[in-house]
Chains A and B, each alone.
Chain A
Amino acid sequence: MGGKVQELSYVGKDVPRVDAVVKVTGKAMFGSDFTMAGMLHAKVLRSPHRHAKIVSIDKSKAEALPGVRIVVTPDDMPQIPISPLLGDQCVLSKDNKVRCLGEPVVAVAADSVEMAEQAVQLIDIVYEELPAVVDIEEAFEKSPPVVVHPDLPGYKQLTGLPIRPDPERPNVCQTYKIHQGDVESGFKQADLIVENRFTTARIQHVPMEPHIALAWVDSDGVLTVRSSTQLSYLVKDWLCRAFSLSPSKVRMLSPFIGGGFGGKGGMRAEAVATLLCLKSGRPVRVSYTREDMFIFGGHRVPYVMDIKDGIKKDGTLVAREMRVLLDLGAYSDFGPLLVRRAVYGAVGTYRIPNFKLDSYGIYTNSPLTGALRGFGCPEVQWPIEQQMDALADKLGMDPVEIREINILKDGDRDVSGMITRSMGVKECLDRAADWISWGKKEKEADGPWKIARGIAIGNKSVSSGHPSAVTVKVWQDGVVEVRHSAARLGQGISTTVGQIAAEQFNVPVEQVRVTCGDTSFCPYDFGTVASRSMVHVGNALIAACQDAQQQLFRIAAPKLGVEPSEMGIGAGKVFVKRTPEKSVKIAELFTPFGLPLGRVEIVGEGYYSAPAVPEDPETGQSERAVFGYSHAASGVEVAVNVETGEVKVLRHVMACDVGKAVNPKIVEGQIEGGIGMGIGTSIYEEVVMNQGAVVNASLTDYHIPTSLDMPKYEDSKAIIVEVADPEGPFGAKGTGEVPLVTTAPAVANAVYRATGVRIKDLPLSKEKVLAGIQALGKTL
């Protein structure tokens, strides 16, 4: 794979986004912009218990309410799973049990939202409450107080993904190991051992647009679901499974999406919308409120991580041991994949001869969790990047230096057994350190405000083993139409694939039309997740362009009198490479009515799936467990108020190695967004739980940063580093997630350098920072 490397005309340029004007003028259509005649509105009745048996449901009062068209209870539908990997979740509870607060139990469709809400309140459910477990370490025990899914051993594994529960720990639904060398002997060689425990917070994605889906059955019996999803084709597959439908009769439409961040990477509003639509025969819309998002819209999995590092006096890491516990909540969702993928954050940056990591996905009676930008990689690098600073501190080394000593170089075998290639993290680190004036004197304290800098590096892998397909149709006027199925989350995919097609056909970007968002004519895509779209859609597109060109060349062969291999394409013409003046217009390869000569259509097909080698289950060793790594470095300057515990990020630079920025402005936007989101997750964001209940299910008390919490424009910098990946399109790697990896540990490292307080639990709230400062004062 990979594209050509000569002078590029469109790739690498700041081409304006194709959706800029429609978005700025408000013409872009999002999920809530669509309504239909006869459309019903849905509401669900949610579980008021963490864990309970459903004894009886009386829906008669709700059904009698005028305007209510259908009320569906768990008894009204087969118990077929809607979950992606492990058959542990159904649309409306499973096996007459609820396993967390907020889980949907009964669904109602009515003529208006208000009627549906009223109806929901009239449903009487008798529950028999059961004991619950919400503490991850209690749930992890060999004899836990509660087993959330006693039937786990019998649950169906729904894909080829290996799922390996821990036979000794009944709440563990997935385990994963990466072992290399021997950590015990590694620790014996070490001059210094540092051991700590870190945790990450439960957070929500807070996309501007909450989950929404509209489902209807058209006149020829096709179920159509328009939803705000990152996974059109997977959701289609799950709907077919859950409702016993033929894939030929399910169509997914994906309009512009108002922010995904992984939260729309699962079955969300689609399941209830489809259920109610099929039961009522009417179009049904499910629209989550902001509170719904906080309660059952999916959270980032909270992690508890123990890390032990052994290092030599010269700064060489000799051993690292990690135990990673993931609180998946009541249902596994993508958890079994997350337990595996997350650990690659610990793989792709450092050379460590003796390494042992064990991760566990654990059920608790807590709300639904799922993917959130970075899929575990930011979480596992939160402890690693603070450990690196802690080690440096104890050895009297500079944090930049200790990282430079230990980072992987091209050709090194990493701890999962993969050979490192196109490693750009050193350049990221150097450029970030340079911009933030690392090593130069920091500003003096301003009253209670202590100022210091911090640095962190990290990676995010692009997943492998999941395909994308693209088709390219060439029209008689020479316009190239790209059909892909990546979701438009705001990341600019239709603009960047358009640039690649323009490059391949040597036509201006205006001559390229990009269509997507309809499974009835856009080909398969695994999903817009895991930073995978540019690599996968890009490579598939290049193959599709080449295929389409070969079709044109074959038609042109008799006219030009040369073999297809001697032809080139550009400016709407097919020409002979040796003598470019000898050419034929693309229009001349079609009849006057638009039919290609001797063909049905000019449609090129392309497909790409990054190679994946199954790992050894005992050691996690694999030559190719991921496509490869993108890299990042953050340099921050923070001010910490030692009287109040407030932390402000004054300056922030982030350098990201993305292989090749197909559109630098768009990549900068991704990085800037990552800085903002990173500051949020570092300092402000946490879904606060009390005994399994979300306490702050609104934006009043769940704080995302405002513009005033950001560094000023001139104090925030996105740097693009391009260490080309030979297997990526034009050298590109993934960009979407790596900007969220490094901010939190960089901020924590800066807070430590300012105050001497190491905060190991996200977020760095005022109270935690102040308590740390006060505790330090007492020990001095």
Chain B
Amino acid sequence: MNTAVSVSRWRHPRFGYLEAMSVEEACALLGEHREKAYLVAGGTDLMVAMRNGKIAPPEHVISIKKISNLSYIRDEGGELKIGALATLDDICHSDMVKEKFPLIAESARQIGSRQIRNVGTIGGNLCNAAPSADMAPSLIGLGARAVIRSTEGSREVTLEEFFRGPGQTSLGRGEMLVEIAVPEQAPYTGGAYIKLPARTAIDLALVGVACVITLDAEKSKASEVRIVLGAVAPVPMRACKAEDALRSALINDEAIDASAEIASQEALPISDVRGSAEYRRAMVKVLARNAIKQAVARA
């Protein structure tokens, strides 16, 4: 249970507003102001966190909204490349994404409301590093990489390594996320993301589970499987033991149930106002089973 004493905390914090016109400029500003600054794109997470006191007001907010050519969604030789500024709405309406990576469109569509998807960006959803971030489980399941830039150059990490804790990423000083790269998926691959919110829409995940599975040509065994859990650990986490169990088994209801059970044991949920740890753990089992079954059906 959250023990925070809630007495009106609404603030109108004062901060400097800086506008970067290019990635280079944004990185330079980040290097200059270091931990005293935040990047803002859609602002749907940052502004709320600043207003309700969940984060200490920064000295500067660096807007990257005006950086051009960073909202692309394109197919590069089978790989999907999404610019950090692509809005969630752009992603769920991209024909290419819907056709080749339907799981990504499906996950984006489950975030917030139309209004929020219109301004919220994929980069923001990931850099906010909420354990419940809806894009994270699916992208980790698909083996996505985060492309990171700084004034020093560019590097890539897997999205799995990108998250370090609630609100914490592996971005270093002067670094920003510029792109999400999703590898081409093998034949017979299917994916699903199942989210349990408190109500049907405009809500955070109480638990979210993504499964991406690649079956062999006979569709009896999984050559590759990823099960990723959201909102039940400090970071979106892979249920590795559950994956192992499924990888070595014949795909049937029994194996799926066993894998889902293992996933629920692997989860590290906490109790808060949205739900108890026990309930979340129980739901991982239900959602993991459903996600695996759906992914298998789509493979």
| Residues in A lying within 8 Å of B, measured CB to CB | 46-48, 101-102, 113-114, 117, 289, 291-292, 294-295, 643-644, 646, 684, 688, 690-691, 693-698, 700-701, 703, 705-709, 766-767, 770
Complexed CA–CA distance, A113 and B13 (Å): 12
With A117-B10, A695-B273 as contacts: A706 and B4 at CB distance below 8 Å: no
Residue of A nearest to B204 (CB): A700
In the A-B complex, the 6 residue pairs with the closest CB atoms: A708-B200, A114-B12, A708-B201, A643-B286, A706-B201, A693-B5
A770 touches B282 (CB 8 A): yes
Consensus secondary structure, chain B interface: loop
Known: A644-B283, A706-B200, A770-B279. A701 touches B8 (CB 8 A): no
Whether B196 sits at the interface, judged by CB under 8 Å, is yes
Q: How far is the CA of A737 from the CA of B2 in the complex (A)?
A: 35
Enumerate chain B residues within 8 angstroms of A684, measured Cβ to Cβ.
198-199
Q: Specify which chain A residues have a CB less than 8 angstroms from the CB of B273 in the assembled complex.
A: 688, 695-696, 701
Sample of 19 more A-B contacts, CB < 8 Å, known A117-B10, A708-B199, A767-B279: A46-B7, A47-B7, A102-B8, A289-B8, A291-B10, A295-B7, A295-B8, A684-B199, A690-B2, A690-B3, A693-B5, A695-B6, A695-B273, A701-B273, A703-B199, A705-B199, A706-B201, A766-B275, A770-B282
Contacts of A688 in B (CB 8 A): 273
The closest CB in chain B to the CB of A774 belongs to: B282
Q: A643-B286, A690-B3, A698-B52 are in contact. Are A46 and B8 (CB under 8 A)?
A: yes
Q: Most B CB atoms within 10 A — which of A644, A691, A770? A: A644
Contact B286 A644 (CB under 8 A): yes
Say whether B161 faces chain A, with CB atoms less than 8 Å apart. no
Q: Is the CB of B5 within 8 A of A644?
A: no
In the docked arrangement, what's the CA distance between A695 and B271, Å? 13
Residues on A with beta carbons closer than 8 Å to the beta carbon of B6:
101, 291, 294-295, 693-695, 697
CA distance A688 to B1 in the complex (A): 10
Nearest-Cβ distance from residue A666 to partner chain B, whole angstroms: 28
CB-defined A-B contacts under 8 Å, sample of 9: A101-B5, A101-B6, A113-B12, A294-B6, A644-B196, A694-B6, A695-B273, A700-B204, A767-B275
Closest chain B residue, CB of each to CB of A698: B52
Nearest-Cβ distance from residue B94 to partner chain A, whole angstroms: 23
Bound complex: CA A46 to CA B48 (Å): 21
Name the interface residues of B183-207: CB closer than 8 Å to any CB of A: 196, 198-204
Alpha-carbon gap, A705 to B279, bound state (A): 22
**Those of B267-286 within 8 Å (CB) of chain A:** 273-276, 279, 282-283, 286
* Chain A residues with CB under 8 A of B2: 690, 695
A47 partner residues in chain B, CB cutoff 8 A: 7
Contacts of A101 in B (CB 8 A): 5-7
A643: B residues at CB distance < 8 A: 286
Q: Is the pair A706, B202 in contact by a Cβ cutoff of 8 Å? A: yes
Range of interface residues on chain B?
A: 20 to 34
**Interchain nearest-CB distance for B97 vs A (Å):** 23
B104 to chain A, nearest CB (A): 22
Q: Which residue of B lies closest to A699 (CB)?
A: B202
A291 near B198: Cβ-Cβ < 8 Å: no
What CA separation (Å) do A311 and B71 show in the bound complex? 69
Nearest-neighbour CB distance to chain B for A586, whole angstroms, equals 53
Per-residue interface assignment for chain B, residues 157 to 186, with 1 indicating a CB less than 8 Å from any chain A CB and 0 otherwise: 000000000000000000000000000000
Q: Are A701 and B10 touching (Cβ within 8 A)?
A: no
Contact B200 A291 (CB under 8 A): no
Q: How far is the CB of A68 from chain B (nearest CB, A)?
A: 15
Taking the closest CB of chain B, its distance from the CB of A446, in whole angstroms, is 14
Q: What is the minimal beta-carbon distance from B25 to any residue of chain A, in angstroms? A: 29
User: What chain B residues lie within 8 Å of A292 (beta carbons)?
Assistant: 8
Complex formed: what's the CA distance from A102 to B283 in Å?
Answer: 35
A291 engages B279 (CB within 8 Å) = no
Nearest CB to that of B280 among chain A residues? Answer: A767
Asked if B8 and A709 sit within 8 Å, CB to CB, the answer is no
Interfacial chain A residues near B204, Cβ < 8 Å:
700
What CA separation (Å) do A501 and B275 show in the bound complex? 54
**Quick check: B7 and A102 within 8 Å, CB to CB?**
yes
Q: Across the interface, which residues of A come within 8 angstroms of B276, CB to CB?
A: 767
> How many Å from the CB of A260 to the closest CB on chain B?
22
Within 8 Å by CB of A709, from B7, B9, B200, lies B200
A644-B286, A698-B52, A767-B275 as given contacts; A291 in contact with B1, CB under 8 Å: no
A375 to B202 CA separation, bound complex (whole angstroms): 30
Query: How many angstroms between the C-alpha atoms of A114 and B51 in the bound complex?
Result: 12
Contact digits for B3-44, partner A, Cβ 8 Å, 1 yes 0 no: 111111111100000000000000000000000000000000
Q: How far is the CA of A291 from the CA of B3 in the complex (A)?
A: 17
- Contact string against A for B residues 196-240, beta-carbon threshold 8 Å, 1 for contact and 0 otherwise: 101111111000000000000000000000000000000000000
Chain A residues, Cβ within 8 Å of B198: 684, 703, 766
Q: Is the CB of A117 within 8 A of B12?
A: yes
Quick check: A117 and B11 within 8 Å, CB to CB? yes
Report Cα–Cα, A691/B1, bound state, in Å.
11
Contact check, A766 vs B279: say whether CB atoms are below 8 A apart: yes
In the bound assembly, the distance between CA atoms of A291 and B201 in angstroms comes to 21
Q: How far is the CA of A289 from the CA of B199 in the complex (A)?
A: 23
Cβ contacts under 8 Å, A703 to chain B: 198-199, 203
Assembly CA distance A102 to B282 (angstroms): 36
Chain A: CB-nearest residue to B276:
A767
Which B residues are in CB contact (< 8 Å) with A295? 6-8
CA distance A673 to B3 in the complex (A): 35
Give every chain B residue within 8 A of A646 (Cβ-Cβ).
196
Q: Do B9 and A291 touch (CB < 8 A)?
A: yes
**Across-interface contacts of B282 in A (CB, < 8 A):** 770
Residues of B within 8 A of A700 (CB): 48, 204
| Most-contacted residue by chain A among B48, B52, B198, B204 (CB, 10 A) | B198
Cβ–Cβ < 8 Å partners of B203 in chain A:
703
Q: Output the least CB separation between B16 and chain A (Å).
A: 16
Known: A703-B203, A770-B279, A770-B282. A291 touches B8 (CB 8 A): yes
Q: How far is the CB of B130 from chain A (nearest CB, A)?
A: 12
CA distance A646 to B282 in the complex (A): 13
- Most chain B beta-carbon contacts within 10 A, residue among A292, A696, A707, A767: A767
Question: B282: nearest residue on chain A (CB-CB)?
Answer: A770
A709 near B12 (CB under 8 angstroms)?
Answer: no
How far is B4's CA from A48's CA once the two chains are assembled, in angstroms?
11
Give the distance in Å from the alpha carbon of A696 to the alpha carbon of B2 in the complex: 10
Q: Separation in Å of the A124 CB from the closest CB of chain B?
A: 16
CA–CA, A697 and B2, complex, Å? 12
CB pair A690–B1 under 8 Å, yes or no, is: yes
Separation in Å of the B200 CB from the closest CB of chain A? 4
B275 cross-chain contacts in A, Cβ below 8 A: 766-767
Q: Which residue of chain B is the closest to A294 with respect to CB atoms? A: B6
With both beta carbons as reference points, the residue of chain B lying nearest to A47 in the complex is identified as B7
Contact, CB under 8 Å: A701 / B274? yes
Cβ-closest chain B residue relative to A646 = B196
- Chain A residues contacting B52 (CB-CB under 8 Å) are 291, 698
Cα separation A770 to B9 with both chains bound (whole Å):
35
For B3, list chain A residues within 8 Å (CB).
Answer: 690-691
Which residues does chain B contribute within 8 Å of A709, judged by CB atoms? Answer: 199-201
Output the least CB separation between A379 and chain B (Å).
Answer: 23
Q: Nearest residue in A to B286 (C-beta to C-beta)?
A: A643
In the complex, which residues of chain A have a beta carbon less than 8 angstroms from the beta carbon of B283?
644
A289 to B53, CA, bound (A): 15
Give the distance in Å from the alpha carbon of A47 to the alpha carbon of B5 in the complex: 11
Chain B positions within 8 Å of A691 at CB level: 3
Q: For the complex, what is the distance from the CA of A113 to the CA of B52, rounded to whole Å?
A: 15
CB within 8 Å of A: which B240-299 residues? 273-276, 279, 282-283, 286
Instruction: Compute how far the CA of A767 lies from the CA of B272 in the bound complex, rounded to whole angstroms.
Output: 13
* A122 shortest CB reach to chain B, Å: 13
Alpha-carbon distance A696/B283, docked complex (angstroms): 22
Find chain A residues with CB under 8 A from B12 CB: 113-114, 117
Write the chain A residue with the least CB distance to B197: A703
Within the complex, what minimum Cβ distance (angstroms) separates A768 from chain B?
10
Residues on A with C-beta less than 8 A from B11 are 117
Complex CA–CA separation, A105 to B20 (angstroms): 44
